Amino acid sequence: MGATCADVITYRQLADEVVLLDIKEGFAEGKALDIYQTSSLLGFKTRITGTTADYSKTANSDVVVITSGLPRKPGMTREELIGTNANIVKGVTENVLKHSPKAIIMVVSNPMDTMTYLTLKTSGLPKNQIIGMGGILDSARFKGYLGLALNAPTADIHATVIGGHGDTTMIPLTRLATLNGVPVSHFLAAEKLKEISDATMVGGATLTKLLGTSAWYAPGAAVALLVESIVRDQKRVMPCCVALDGEYGQKDICMGVPVVIGKNGWEKIIDYKLIADEQSIFNKSADAVRSMNDVLATLN
């Protein structure tokens, strides 16, 4: 997934330089060389290099994307990854900050909400510089399923997923989903919308079952979209995992909510004015995320 993200960032020329880093000898170098050799075919000028565990090569990065960690296997939940991936993400964060102390850090490693919270607590960075990427991907899947059901271009569909980035914690906001401004409920029955919502929530697990590992094309493109809004200061509203301090009724937690994304990272949380049922589900999602965060204390 990290390589796909780098590939999209590179050919869309979102950065002057992209550096891939991996602990497997020669792997990042090989991926970077392969991507670079498409430059004459795709017409980009971005410099891309790879390195084996040499964080000095990443010095002075404006944006860092952490995809490190074990991938999901069939039947494995994101939560089951927490013990191993917490140590990996913490180590990566510490090494990154030695060379890029002002970087905006994006966390993709699973369980994403907990890894984002861990990064926030251990990095010492301002909260706006720590962003978890999950809701953008989940929303893309939500739009995809809606597009198939409506037989409509996904570009004409506006739909958002908030809450935790988990099979049981994400919240597709069906009430607010529209097709060119018209609520999708005008076109689809409640039963079909429930089916789409359920499919969205297990979208990652569905692909893991089919592929034997986590997806990479859509997640990579989702991260690249987030990077673009930062480096081009687009001020796009995107559902991202960020630190909450009373917003949506929650504190001391990182969860997916709509935020404005620009050159400073996440700049503002947008209040979608959830109705009572939605807020209740959001609160239950928060409880589940907190239970995973509590595991971090047992790892010290």
User: Could you tell me which residues come within 8 angstroms of residue 34 by beta carbon, excluding any fewer than 6 positions away?
Assistant: none
* Active-site residue identified among 99, 158, 165, 186: 165
Strands 104-107 and 130-132: parallel
CA distance 81 to 79: 5
* Separation between Cα atoms, residue 158 and residue 139, nearest integer Å: 9
- 165 catalytically annotated: yes
Residues designated as active site: 165
